[in-house]
Structure 1
Amino acid sequence: MPIVTLPLLAGWILLANHTHTQASPDSTLRVADLDALAKDKGVQAVVITDHDNVRAVLDPAFHASSSVRFIEGEEWGNILDRNFVGHVGLIGLKGDFDVESSLPVEEALSQAKSRGALAVINHPFNWLLARRGKDIPRDAGGVEVWNQAWNDLTMRNDQALKWWDAGLRGGRRLVAVGGADVHGIRIW
């Protein structure tokens, strides 16, 4: 599966990152639903990051849209390292990322990077899903500093922004990413 490359455009494009389809156990959306929703909201590109799989690329709607570019991704949630427990968005991943959950986070992220993925630490301060060390893992390329609504107290986006900023101040080159974390129609 080739990596999707967006054509260079003058100005900005509106991209919805961190979306889920019925290939995730907690989503009700089909790829066609994301396509219709994106068209309705003027979104030009959508990164589908289903939990622990890339089955959405098998859906004909993934390749059929004339106005929305779908980008392959995965939200990997099997990280159980002593320094990090949480979810990592793998944007642009080539094929399924199936790795032993017992691997240290640094080794797992290195494998993802070798498969063409930009590894983004998703919702790093979500009160339910995340525990992290002081430092951002070495092979992470970004931090999701904005997940869902900015003022959602369970996501603690302000802390994610400070964590990313501390990484920059420490000499890291990291992108700041916003994530819609779409699981159903009502989010947009």
Structure 2
Amino acid sequence: MPHAETIVLRRFIDKTEEKTYPEVPFAVEGDVERIEVRYAYERPDGRTVIDIGLRSPERIVGWSGGARASFFVGLDTATPGYLAGPIPSGQWRVLLGAYRVPDDGCEVEMELTIVREHPRWLKGDLHMHGVHSDGAYEVADAIRSCKDKGLDFVAFTDHNNASQNRATLAADDRLVLIPGVELTSYKGHANLLGRLDALDDFRVLTPDRAAEALRRAQESGALVSLNHPFCPDCPWELGFVVPYDAIEVWNGPWRPLNETAVRWWHEQLVTGRRIVAIGGSDTHAPHPLVAHGMPTTHVRAEAASKAAILDAVRAGRVVLSFAPDETFVDLAIGEAGIGDTRSDDGQTETALSVTVTGAAGDTVRVWSDRGLEREWTVEREGEFVFRVPTDRLFYRAEAYRYLPEWEREILSCLTNPIYMQGGNDRGESTD
């Protein structure tokens, strides 16, 4: 079934219907994430005005009057004047307003596009700060900055505060706004994502207190990531035998603290643990090297919604890149993609597909639990296919770029693994 369907509806409005609200029904079925509406009508006398809005099976969800020729509603995004939220199956209605109708009446044409949930890569930033803690960005300024960079989602994670989440209660027209908070103690930092107020006390100075706070956050529905765990100024000192869903291995610009985090993460994967690697810019204020979307966290989500994005992170369907439009690497082994487990078909070898976009001159490296498996310099974008052994726990990829002006090599992209059947089942991320 195609993920988008367009239908055209027409409604003739007679002069006798002036100052009434005709409704035009249409059916919504299945897992829909977005309804788009465009309309037009003739204005022979120059005075005709037909207003428009939308009604779900339960209620009116928005009204444009005559101010807009198009609008949309989505799960977590919507045109101003419309309510984002669940899109239930049933009979919806385009709500017309026959404000001024010519003597001969007029015909209104409505074009509706119904977009169903479908997997695709979305890009965002899971770690940023503003004026609600120690940053310089107002919420509106941060949203504008992230839109300018082409991001699809952002998480607001001010230190120990949830007030920034109250400032983002209204849906944006482009960005999925994920509430969050960075638990910031003298022994380490952790992001709690997806809940308006997931933290009641940040003063965790022992592993037991940290475990208790993080477990409560998870039980409330929050996704927990341990942030910049090897930062020399604020490392995670509360141990890794605590509940968490992901590790922030890439914080801000590429630097030694991230190299250490990636090395630690890889060592855990080699032991059979399945830990999700994520990134975040940790942006606080305008800066030449620290900026929204640097790095970018790409997630392969089923829908453009908070729930679907966080579910994708939990599942490990995550790729990190230097910036929104920089090198991007995708992996596949048969039907299995990043974060998935390849089914055992009894073969000793299989085809690993590595698709590289946005790169030329970068060095791509494919790793497994046995070490470096492949390495080559990308001279063109495209798909690269290799035969690889199946007796591995996982395969993952990195891309590196040499910067002459810095006289050093930096990471340009990192993927989470495809796991091979026979590795440990994904469980709680604890030692």
Q: Shorter-chain TM-score: which interval?
A: 0.7 to 0.9
Give 1:71's aligned residue: 178
Give 1:173's aligned residue: 274
Secondary structure class of the residue paired with 2:126: strand
List alignment gaps of at least 5 residues for structure 1: none
Kept after mapping to 1: 8 A contact 2:199/2:217: yes
Identity %: 32
Alpha-carbon distance change, 8 to 91 in structure 1, aligned in 2, over 3 angstroms: farther
1:22-171 correspondence to structure 2 within 5 Å? 22-24=131-133, 26-59=134-167, 61-78=168-185, 85-99=187-201, 100-102=203-205, 104=208, 105-132=210-237, 136-151=240-255, 153=256, 156-171=257-272
User: How far apart in 1 are the matches of 2:269 and 2:124?
Assistant: 24
Kept after mapping to 1: 8 A contact 2:229/2:261: yes
Deviation at 1:182, TM superposition (A): 1.0
Give 1:13's aligned residue: 122
Deviation at 1:10, TM superposition (A): 4.2
TM-score by length of 2: 0.38
User: How far apart in 1 are the matches of 2:140 and 2:156?
Assistant: 12
TM-score by length of 1: 0.82
Alpha-carbon distance change, 118 to 64 in structure 1, aligned in 2, over 3 angstroms: closer
Deviation at 1:88, TM superposition (A): 0.5
Counterpart residue type for residue 181 of structure 1: D
Which protein has the bigger helix share?
1
Deviation at 1:102, TM superposition (A): 4.8
Counterpart residue type for residue 114 of structure 1: E
Counterpart residue type for residue 191 of structure 2: G
User: How far apart in 2 are the matches of 1:138 and 1:173?
Assistant: 15
Deviation at 1:107, TM superposition (A): 2.0
Which has the higher Rg, Structure 1 or Structure 2?
A: 2
Alpha-carbon distance change, 102 to 62 in structure 1, aligned in 2, over 3 angstroms: same
Alpha-carbon distance change, 169 to 176 in structure 1, aligned in 2, over 3 angstroms: same
Secondary structure class of the residue paired with 2:137: coil
Kept after mapping to 1: 8 A contact 2:165/2:196: no
Deviation at 1:163, TM superposition (A): 1.8
User: How far apart in 1 are the matches of 2:252 and 2:267?
Assistant: 22
Counterpart residue type for residue 138 of structure 2: R
User: How far apart in 2 are the matches of 1:112 and 1:180?
Assistant: 22
Kept after mapping to 2: 8 A contact 1:123/1:147: yes
The structure showing larger relative contact order (alpha-carbon pairs under 8 Å, at least 6 residues apart) is: 1
Kept after mapping to 1: 8 A contact 2:189/2:236: no
Which protein has the bigger strand share?
2
Q: Kindly tell me the number of residue pairs found equivalent between the two proteins.
A: 174
Q: Which shows bigger deviation, 61-70 or 45-54?
A: 61-70
Counterpart residue type for residue 228 of structure 2: H
Deviation at 1:185, TM superposition (A): 2.6
Kept after mapping to 2: 8 A contact 1:145/1:177: yes
Kept after mapping to 2: 8 A contact 1:136/1:167: no
The one-character-per-residue Cα deviations of 1:84-134 (angstroms, maximum 9, x if unpaired) are x2100111135240135356222222112111111111001110111436x
CA RMSD of aligned residues (A): 2.4
User: How far apart in 1 are the matches of 2:118 and 2:284?
Assistant: 29
Secondary structure class of the residue paired with 1:158: helix
